[in-house]
């Protein structure tokens, strides 16, 4: 899990990112992001829909795996971004950690997280 200062609090911030953010898409994920000039730290969220898996256990497993990939990027000094990683492929559950990382790293470079 990521630290408290890197999480979204409430639905209003998420709605803002979805409404005003730019998107980047890969095989498993979509990242919506917007720069937040009012903060010093980036905030991240991972969304896995019930359409991907009905089981909450499987959705939470995907979410935890993606958070583990995101966590080191939030600790680095990068611009304050609010971003949401949406998982839309059920293959993300069975994919290896390396495969998920290969999918996410180029997306992070595109949005400015390095």
pLDDT digits (tens, 9 = 90+) for 65-110: 999 999 888 877 677 889 999 999 999 999 999 999 999 999 988 9
| Model pTM score | 0.89
Confidence (pLDDT) at 77: 64
In angstroms, rounded to a whole number, what is the distance separating the alpha carbons of residues 94 and 48? 14
Span 41-50, average pLDDT: 92
In angstroms, rounded to a whole number, what is the distance separating the alpha carbons of residues 94 and 83? 24
- The DSSP symbol for 43 reads E
- The DSSP symbol for 7 reads B
pLDDT digits (tens, 9 = 90+) for 6-44: 889 888 989 999 999 999 999 899 999 999 888 888 899
For the chain, which domains are there?
A: 4-111 (3.30.230.10)
Confidence (pLDDT) at 36: 86
* Rg, C-alpha atoms of the chain: 13
- Strand 29-35 and strand 43-48: the pairing is unpaired
């Amino acid at each position: 899990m990521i630290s408290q200062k890197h999480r979204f609090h409430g639905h209003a911030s998420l709605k803002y990112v979805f409404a005003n953010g730019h998107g980047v898409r890969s095989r498993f994920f979509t990242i919506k992001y917007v720069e937040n000039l009012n903060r010093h730290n980036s905030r991240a969220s991972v969304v896995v829909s019930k359409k991907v898996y009905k089981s909450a256990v499987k959705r939470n497993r995907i979410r935890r795996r993606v958070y583990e990939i995101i966590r080191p990027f939030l600790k680095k000094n990068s611009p304050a971004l609010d971003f949401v990683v949406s998982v839309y492929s059920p293959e993300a559950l069975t994919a290896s950690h390396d495969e998920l990382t290969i999918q996410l790293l180029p997306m992070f470079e595109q949005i400015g997280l390095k």
